[in-house]
Amino acid sequence: MPSNTPLVGDTVWFSEINTSVAQVFSHNWSDAPNLGDISVIDWSTVPPVEIVISGFPCQGVSIVGKGAGIAPGTRSGLWSCMARAIEELQPACVVIENVRGCSRPPLPDPRRGIKWTR
């Protein structure tokens, strides 16, 4: 839902493997540690958060991509790592940024496989 009111909060941590991007994040959020590669994070050791904001590569879901989908092992399959984080952390809100193709079939429901407890 669009809003003119900015979100107020703190960046507690981030996960980024691209060195240049991680440097920008570290510059903007110097108190937030980079957890590194999302595919190997032990989420049980990560401080819980109320909001998770994330994105993943769009090639598998974009109309100009090869349509590989979001299956594990594809570039867009990074979604499965995000789903694991969401299931473990159980944030109150999740914001996922990606292309319009994420909302169209034949992609599986991105909520499938996540056990929500709230």
pLDDT reported for residue 41:
94
Identity of the amino acid at 65: G
Task: Identify the active-site residue in 58, 81, 93, 102.
Answer: 58
User: For tokens 């914001």, what's the residue?
Assistant: 95
pLDDT at residue 1 in the model: 45
Higher pLDDT, 100 or 95: 95
Quick one: pLDDT band at residue 97, thresholds 50, 70, 90? confident
Residue 46 in tokens: 């990560």
> How confident is the model over 35-94, as pLDDT tens digits?
999 889 999 999 989 998 887 766 666 666 666 666 666 666 677 888 889 899 999 988
Please determine, for residue 19, whether its predicted confidence score (pLDDT) is greater than 90: yes
Q: Of 34, 37, 33, whose CA–CA distance to 17 is shortest?
A: 37
pLDDT confidence of residue 43: 93
- Annotation says 81 is catalytic: no
For residue 116, is pLDDT > 60? no
With contact defined as beta carbons under 8 Å apart, do 91 and 83 qualify?
A: no
Calpha distance 64→10 (Å, rounded): 35
pTM of the model: 0.71
Looking from the CA of 94 toward its CB, the CA atoms found within 13 Å total: 20
**pLDDT for residue 93:** 87
Beta carbons within 8 Å of 75's beta carbon, 6+ residues apart: 57, 59, 60, 68
